[in-house]
Structure formats: structure tokens, C-alpha cells
Amino acid sequence: MLKHRGFPGRLPGTDFQFVIRRPNPRGVTALTQRERYADRRPADRRADAGFMRALWDHFGEESFERGNLDAGRLSWLFGREIVPAEDPFDPESYEALLRVDVTVARVSFPDIFGGGSA
């Protein structure tokens, strides 16, 4: 499992985790698309935005390996702002390649990407 050096471990001042320390001994947690409802707590929205900011700052438009990025946190963005960068894609692999879909991310997080238009 690739450890992304320099990537923030969590959202500062919170317990919202961005990375894991070691591989899960019971198997890799699959990435799934989680529904983000409009009534989500503000803290959860800040965690999504903080994680998206960290991904953008660390990887930009380049493809990146899932590695030690937290599956739960990725799943809140997966299928929308974060998409597979390879075909076939294995959602249960630490080596799976992902990328930021800038068009979608720009609409979802205009403060990070500078506006809602593509």
C-alpha cells in the first residue's frame, strides 16, 4: 500500500480522517458511491471540502493511486468528483488509479476551483 507522504492525515481540528496508517488485515474496503443529501451536517460538508482541497493540492489533474487514502472519505466523492482513471477498475485495490473530474469538482466545490462554470 502506497503511503502518500505529505498528504494531511485529517481535517485540522477534527477527527475526520483522510488517510489510514496500515492496510486492513481483513481485506481492502471497497470504494462505493455514497449519496450526499442536502441536509448533511456542516461539519461533514467541511470535511468533504477539506479532503477535496487536499486531493487537488497534492495531485491536481494527475491520476493517483488510492494507496493509504481513507476509503470512507473517498467514497463521499467517488463517482462524482473522484472517478476511476483505469479500465477495468478494481474498487477493492490499494493500487487502483483515480483522478479528479475537474468539471464536476468545479461545480461541487467552487471555492476550491474558482467558480461554478466549466
What is the pLDDT, as a whole number, of residue 115?
A: 62
Structurally, the chain folds into a number of domains equal to: 1
Q: Within the chain, which residues score under 50 in pLDDT? A: 118
Cell 468539471 sits on residue = 103
* List of residues 6+ apart from 46 with CB closer than 8 A: 11, 14
For the purposes of burial, counting CB atoms within 10 Å of the CB of 14, is it exposed (0-12), middle (13-18) or buried (19 or more)?
A: exposed
Residue range of the domain that includes 93:
1-24+33-118
Please provide the size of the chain in residues.
Answer: 118
How many C-beta atoms surround the C-beta of residue 66 within 10 A?
A: 23
What is the pLDDT, as a whole number, of residue 23?
A: 86
**Cα dihedral value 85, 88, 93, 96, nearest 10:** -20
What is the pLDDT, as a whole number, of residue 118?
A: 46
How far is Cα 5 from Cα 73, in angstroms, rounded to an integer? Answer: 18
CA triple 92-29-7, angle to 5 deg = 95
State the pTM of this model: 0.90
3-state secondary structure of 105: helix
What is the pLDDT, as a whole number, of residue 116?
A: 53
pLDDT in tens, 95-104: 999 999 999 9
